[in-house]
Structure 1
Amino acid sequence: MLYRLARGILRLYFSLCRGWVVEGVENIPEEGELIVVANHSSYQDPLILGAAMTRPVNFMGKVELFRYPLFGSLLRLLGAFPVKRKAVDRAAIRHALAILAERKVLGMFPEGTRSKTGQLGEAQAGVVLLATKSGAPILPAGIKRGRGRGGVVIRFGKPFYLEAEGRERREAGKRIMAEIASLLS
């Protein structure tokens, strides 16, 4: 209920104030487990991506965001959960796999941090691990901004599956980032 209300308010805001365009909505599966991945260059990205999706998204967010009691509680109410970056966070991995086992949507920014330059970096190992361990399809998304307060374009690509073991995981991460890059051009 709270998620749908927040999504409706955000859609109205982005439509009226930011002039957003959402493309490829038909590529979002209506049901089943799903990992949605996107580029990340602004604190607004989870809001933009969550508002553009047709299904609720459970975002993985850096643990620092959850240290503020009121804000952390709100994030949890909206389905987000903390992850310790630069460490193997087994609790976050278990939580993410549980979300996928419940046939819900997991939202991730594969680079693990915001890009200050707008250039895409390398995918962290976590997204590949979760995709291969769960068997969930990956839905790539590209968030492209205009200059200043210009419009925002969100493009969803076609879902795809990863099968990667050992050394193939690095290549799988490159594929994820290439899929996102193709949606930004």
Structure 2
Amino acid sequence: MISEFIFTKILGWKLVGDFPRHHKKYIVIGAPHTSWKDFPIAILARNTAGIPINFIGKDSLFKPPFGFIFRKLGGAPVDRSKSNNLVDAIVAVFNSREEFRLALSPEGTRERVEKWKTGFYFIAKGANVPIVMFAFDFKNKEIKVAEPYYLTDNMEADFDHFFSFYKDIISAKPEYFNNENLL
């Protein structure tokens, strides 16, 4: 497969762990998201794993001349200028499909943030699906994939679990990743 060749042989990355194949529905949270390089590396890792995972992105990415590429890669545009309930809309998508995996960046941007956005958490809660953590470790050129995590009724404990997975990850731009407090 061409993606695997590019990912492993040309770029020198490796996949540590694997996406769950027996789960038909889950949310993948990809972090730290600090560089434009994260997206193509994530697509190559997904293709190397051979499992369909969709993503959403700001609607401007899906406009001509290159918008068709993002759609072909499994993306769907989101209009962030409108005040709509994106969490409920995505929960409805999960509930209407037999198989759906959605990748999101909990940071919501490539810039440094003090706290993660919580939409992914409430989508997982509403759709009753687990979260699979996905880390961009640029220091070791590894994509690390965790086992599915089922949310508890304690949001703080859940975010502590996420923090423990990401705390030692070195991103493309380490100064942009807040690895001290996610909630």
TM-score of the aligned structures, taking structure 1 as reference length = 0.73
Q: Is residue 23 from structure 1 mapped to residue 12 from structure 2 by the alignment?
A: no
| Residues 87 and 123, structure 2, Cα contact 8 Å, conserved in 1 | no
How do residues 1-16 of structure 1 correspond to structure 2 at under 5 angstroms?
Answer: 8-16=1-9
Q: Which has the higher helix share?
A: 1
Q: Which residue of 2 aligns with 1:4?
A: none
Structure 1 residue 29: deviation in Å? 3.3
Q: Structure 1: give runs of 5+ residues left out of the alignment.
A: 1-7
Residue 109, structure 1, aligned to residue 105, structure 2: yes
Say whether the 8 Å CA contact 2:130–2:150 is kept in structure 1: yes
* Residue in 1 that maps onto 2:178: none
Q: Counterpart in 1 of 2:24?
A: 32
**1:50 maps onto 2:46 in alignment:** no
Match of 2:180 in 1: none
Partner residue in 2 for 1:143: 136
TM-score when scaled to structure 2? 0.74
Unmatched segments (≥5 aa) in structure 2: 171-183
Q: CA RMSD in A?
A: 2.9
CA distance in 2 between counterparts of 1:28 and 1:155 reads 13
1:158 corresponding residue in structure 2: 147
Query: Distance in 2 between the 1:110 and 1:73 partners?
Result: 25
Indicate yes or no: 2:77 matched with 1:82.
yes
**Matched length:** 165
Cα deviation per residue 1:46-81 (whole Å; 9 max; x = unaligned)? 332233233111011122212x32322221222211
SS at match of 1:106: strand
Alignment-derived partner of residue 69 in structure 1: 64
Give 1:41 shift.
Answer: 1.6
Percent identical pairs in the alignment equals 27
